[in-house]
Amino acid sequence: MPTIQYREESIRVLKGLEPVRQRPGMYTRTDSPFHIIGEVIDNAADEALANVAKNISVTLHADGSVTCTDDGRGIPVGMHPEEKRPTVEVVFTVLHSGGKFDKLEGGAYAFSGGLHGVGVSVTNALSRRMEVEVQRESAVHRIVFADGDVIEPLRKIGEVGPRKSGTKIRVWPNAKYFDSTHISVPEMERLLRSKAVLLPGAKVTLTIEKASGNETRTWTYPDGLKGYMKESLGEVDPVIPLFDGEKYAARGGETFAEGEGAAWVVAFTEEGPTFRESFVNLIPTPNGGTHESGLREGLYVAVKNFVDHHNMLPKGVKLLPEDVFARASFILSARVLDPQFQGQIKEKLNSRDAVKLVSSMVKDPLELYLNEHVEFGKKLAELAIKQAQTRMRAVQKVEKKKGSGVAVLPGKLTDCETSDASRAELFLVEGDSAGGSAKQGRDKEFQAILPLRGKVLNSWEHDRNRLYANAEIHNIAVAIGVDPHSLNDAADISGLRYHKICILADADVDGRHIQVLLLTLFFRHFPKLIQSGHIHVAQPPLFRVDAPGKGKNKPPRKLYALDEGELKAVEDHLRKEGFKENSWQVSRFKGLGEMNAEQLWETTMDPNTRRLLRIQVEDEGVTRIHDKMHMLMSKGESGARRQWLEMYGNEAEVDV
């Protein structure tokens, strides 16, 4: 067999927009071009958020292209001081470029959805053509791109009045990067309507070109969130009047940057479906995140304080956050200076500080409102208590069905107190040391801990009937209350003791290996747990930042970062707060065993601040994932693994 050469020229450096074209799925959704069009719309909305634009219009053309126009400031067209080419060209052709990085006072954007500078440059990379027109400083300029490259350099094409400004972008998505080039009109309507809701006074227009004549729809909400909520509720009457408000941090605050905060409207209803939408800097977050956790906590604490003050809680009933939140419909719009999202498509907020931010903004106004309107306060409290009683009755019914025939639980398992499987969580923790910290730091009411000794068996090729011979796998199966099965079995998982099973391992190579072995076990022998969304991977931070306290006599702060990129964002935030360079210290965790119980709870186990990745495989992807897992985990596939590593090994992230 010939020797494969590995020389200096074997190392490729991808420049410009080439990384996006090589791996588009790392930067955007590839089912349709909706997200890359959304990036352009988000930039127009950021102009409105900065109070420099009042009109946003989007046109879906008959040829599949999309145009977005705003009357904002217009992208700068002068020469960029570092790149030595027109700034508008830099914005569309250079990854990690844009005005959203300038967060200092007087910067172009104090709050925005754009964070990484890869938004419209990704749109350009994945479009076969893009035309940009800018009205700015009494002139109209035009530049045209094809496949990410400039084909018509920037030139002046006309003049306008000195007060006219704005940006017009037309995009032709490249079909080869997407499963389908169809853009869902209902999805586009929801996005544009939400922009209008969040920008009171702004006018948002959608035009759809058709052979029979154009269709135009316009949204404007002078009443903002409250008007949208009333429209969404329809005929449903809330238990108490809509609870709405907005609150933002003032200059010189000790905890949050000036302007950070939230606007919200909450409706509590007795029946019917709940309606919930959340946003961060105008970006929709359909998967929620820490800002929703903050709203949940703020509502709960306010109602709980009211209930305690009026001594309303019946004997034997414990009020939980979900009891208050269960019947809450809400629209939440958070403003966060440097938000951390899960992935480039920004569907979930991960910023830990957002929990405390939103909670602190919401709690006091609701508590004040309930105490000023005691009649409404008691109605809301009675609704929450009713939910708590219903929840407790449901748990009692489950307990009666179980009977007394329960397997002997593993001795290493530190179980939780609740019998409500829907609330219970099991953490599979790497090593006894980390297991000890997890036991001390957990919430014993609903979190159980099972420490694992060493690396779990690679179970890919093991017969199901032989699995119990391995002590670790035996303990896992007995603890979760589900027997091994295949996807085609009529397996019963109703006995599942924990609805969240969380793999908690070190953020290093050995930890990743343990994660893979456990995921192999669940995918191969407990597939219905993955199919039902019960398996999660916890994400402990890699870095701790010890920062000085803000203000005189304030205690020092401990901040955490998941990876290098988030560490940079934390340091940028400290600079924004006015701290001098090197006034903070950065340390790297070598493993979970280095964390004390409080740190492990705050960063990895607290439902309000932790990060859990849910592992779920769509039905149509099972065969593809099975084949890939077989190649990676089967003893007889070493040749295929070697070939795969030779092709893709250079793309792996290495932790040395």
Q: pLDDT digits over 562-610, tens only? A: 888 888 888 888 888 888 888 899 988 877 877 888 888 888 999 888 8
Cβ 133 vs Cβ 112: under 8 Å: no
Q: What is the DSSP string of 42-77?
A: HHHHHHHHTTS--EEEEEE-TTS-EEEEE-SS----
Distance CA 414, CA 411 (A): 8
User: What average pLDDT does the chain have?
Assistant: 84
Pairing of strands 543-547, 557-561: antiparallel
Distance CA 101, CA 114 (A): 8
Neighbouring-strand partners of residue 69:
57, 168
> Going by C-beta distance under 8 Å and a sequence separation of 6 or more, which residues neighbour residue 187?
34
Q: Taking residues 10-15, report their average pLDDT.
A: 51
Cβ 185 vs Cβ 92: under 8 Å: no
Distance CA 124, CA 145 (A): 7
Does residue 268 have a pLDDT over 90?
yes
Q: Taking residues 377-385, report their average pLDDT.
A: 95
Does residue 72 have a pLDDT over 60?
yes
Q: Taking residues 219-234, report their average pLDDT.
A: 87
Cβ 377 vs Cβ 371: under 8 Å: yes
Identity of the amino acid at 470: N
Q: In what order do the strands lie in the sheet with 261-268?
A: 243-248, 261-268, 328-335, 276-280, 283-284
Residue 20, judged by CB atoms within 10 A of its CB (0-12, 13-18, 19+), counts as buried
User: How confident is residue 403, by pLDDT bands cut at 50, 70 and 90?
Assistant: very low
E-strand ranges in 71-138 read 127-136
Dump pLDDT digits (tens) for 451-465.
988 778 888 888 777
Greatest mean pLDDT range, 277-281, 455-459, 553-557:
277-281
Distance CA 268, CA 376 (A): 11
Nearest C-alpha neighbor of 548 from the set 587, 577, 589, 522: 577
Per-residue pLDDT at 86: 92
CB hemisphere CA count around 181 (13 angstroms): 17
Cβ 53 vs Cβ 40: under 8 Å: no
User: How confident is residue 253, by pLDDT bands cut at 50, 70 and 90?
Assistant: confident
Per-residue pLDDT at 250: 87
When mean pLDDT is compared across 91-95, 137-141, 203-207, 303-307, the lowest value belongs to 91-95
Cβ 512 vs Cβ 500: under 8 Å: no
Per-residue pLDDT at 345: 57
Per-residue pLDDT at 653: 54
CA distances from 21 to 28, 271, 569 (A): 11, 48, 26
Does residue 364 have a pLDDT over 90?
yes
Distance CA 240, CA 598 (A): 38
Per-residue pLDDT at 363: 95
> Going by C-beta distance under 8 Å and a sequence separation of 6 or more, which residues neighbour residue 2?
none
Residue 372, judged by CB atoms within 10 A of its CB (0-12, 13-18, 19+), counts as exposed
Structure tokens at 486: 């295949």
Residue 52, judged by CB atoms within 10 A of its CB (0-12, 13-18, 19+), counts as middle
Q: How far is CA 292 from the centre of its chain?
A: 11
Per-residue pLDDT at 339: 83
Distance CA 391, CA 640 (A): 51
Does residue 103 have a pLDDT over 50?
no
Per-residue pLDDT at 108: 42
Q: Identify the residue whose tokens are 């009443």.
A: 223
Greatest mean pLDDT range, 29-38, 338-347, 496-505:
496-505
The alpha-helical segments, DSSP class H, found in 432-495 are 432-441, 471-480
> Going by C-beta distance under 8 Å and a sequence separation of 6 or more, which residues neighbour residue 146?
128, 129, 130
Structure tokens at 513: 């290996």
Measured from the Cβ of residue 2, the count of other Cβ atoms closer than 10 Å reads 4
Dump pLDDT digits (tens) for 169-203.
999 999 998 888 889 899 899 889 888 988 888 99
Cβ 394 vs Cβ 388: under 8 Å: no
User: How confident is residue 400, by pLDDT bands cut at 50, 70 and 90?
Assistant: very low
Q: Identify the residue whose tokens are 């309930």.
A: 370
Q: Taking residues 295-310, report their average pLDDT.
A: 95
User: How confident is residue 107, by pLDDT bands cut at 50, 70 and 90?
Assistant: very low
Q: Identify the residue whose tokens are 């306290």.
A: 549
Helix, strand, coil shares, percent, the chain, to 5: 40, 20, 40
Structure tokens at 472: 């670790």
Distance CA 442, CA 464 (A): 32
Greatest mean pLDDT range, 22-26, 102-106, 267-271, 482-486:
267-271
Q: How far is CA 364 from the centre of its chain?
A: 27
Dump pLDDT digits (tens) for 333-350.
998 887 887 755 567 888
Which element (helix H / strand E) includes 307? helix 290-309
CA distances from 376 to 241, 306, 311, 552 (A): 8, 11, 16, 41
Structure tokens at 37: 């069009």
Which element (helix H / strand E) includes 331? strand 328-335
Does residue 11 have a pLDDT over 80?
no
- Between these two residues, 573 and 318, which has the higher pLDDT value? 318
Cβ 6 vs Cβ 152: under 8 Å: no
Coil, strand or helix: which one is 485? Answer: coil
Structure tokens at 481: 């209350």
User: How confident is residue 489, by pLDDT bands cut at 50, 70 and 90?
Assistant: confident
When mean pLDDT is compared across 23-37, 299-313, 334-348, 519-533, the lowest value belongs to 334-348
When mean pLDDT is compared across 17-26, 402-411, 431-440, 538-547, the lowest value belongs to 402-411
Does residue 398 have a pLDDT over 50?
no
When mean pLDDT is compared across 101-110, 400-409, 522-531, 555-564, the lowest value belongs to 101-110
The rounded percent of the chain whose pLDDT value lies above 90 is 38
Does residue 636 have a pLDDT over 70?
yes
Angle ∠(61,25,7) on CA atoms, nearest 5:
130
DSSP state letter for 28: S
> Going by C-beta distance under 8 Å and a sequence separation of 6 or more, which residues neighbour residue 429?
435, 438, 449, 450, 451, 452, 504, 505, 592
Nearest C-alpha neighbor of 497 from the set 406, 566, 585, 572: 406
Q: Taking residues 542-553, report their average pLDDT.
A: 81
Q: Annotated active-site positions, please?
A: 430, 506, 508, 510
Distance CA 254, CA 257 (A): 8
**Is pTM, for the whole model, over 0.85?**
no
